[in-house]
Amino acid sequence: MINLDQLRPLVPLKNMTMHAIDDTTLAGNVRKVAGGMGIEIQPDMEVERNPNQWTDHFPFLRSDVPAMNFMFGFGLGAEAERRYREWCQVRYHRPQDDLSQALDLGAVRDMNRFFYRMVEGVAQADARPAFATGSGAEVRR
């Protein structure tokens, strides 16, 4: 299960957060595709909020289905973090979260390219996605 519901193309696509990054074999393909595009894949930068458990992919993990979720990432203290936090405070689940907000169209393009390459890699792989050995995913489920 590949969840894309938390994408916010507010800034150029330089890095992405992948929830459950160490839990499944999906991360290998993700890192390969992202690396070829110059995109850094990082673990959750907001562990105190525990977004892994409130995104739409989590019930799949709990049901033994390898799953992942992406968000545009940011480095701590970077402009991307400031924009993300502002968006969460002003727009997230508010009337201002509409089509009038500024989007980085280059980031939209890059995300679509990443997504199609990543999904193709999963579909063409010799093995089906699985839980990573020793991931501890069984504890989180």
- Alpha helices, H only, 48-136: 58-62, 79-90, 105-124
- pLDDT per residue, tens digit, the chain (141 aa), is 888 876 788 889 999 988 888 888 999 999 999 999 999 999 877 766 666 666 777 888 888 888 888 888 888 888 888 888 888 888 888 888 777 888 899 999 999 999 999 999 999 999 999 988 766 554 444
Hey, how many other C-beta atoms are within 10 angstroms of the C-beta on 19? 22
* Angle (deg, nearest 10), helices 26-36 and 105-124: 130
pLDDT tens digit sequence for 93-117: 888 877 788 889 999 999 999 999 9
pLDDT tens digit sequence for 40-56: 999 877 766 666 666 77
Whole-angstrom Cα distance, residue 38 to residue 35? 5
Residue 94 CB contacts under 8 Å (≥ 6 apart), including other chains: none
**If you ran DSSP here, which 8-state letter would residue 132 be given?**
P
- In 3D space, the residue among 42, 115, 38, 34 whose CA is nearest the CA of residue 78 turns out to be 42
Q: Is 20 left (phi over 0), alpha (psi -120 to 50) or beta?
A: left
Mean confidence (pLDDT) of the chain? 84
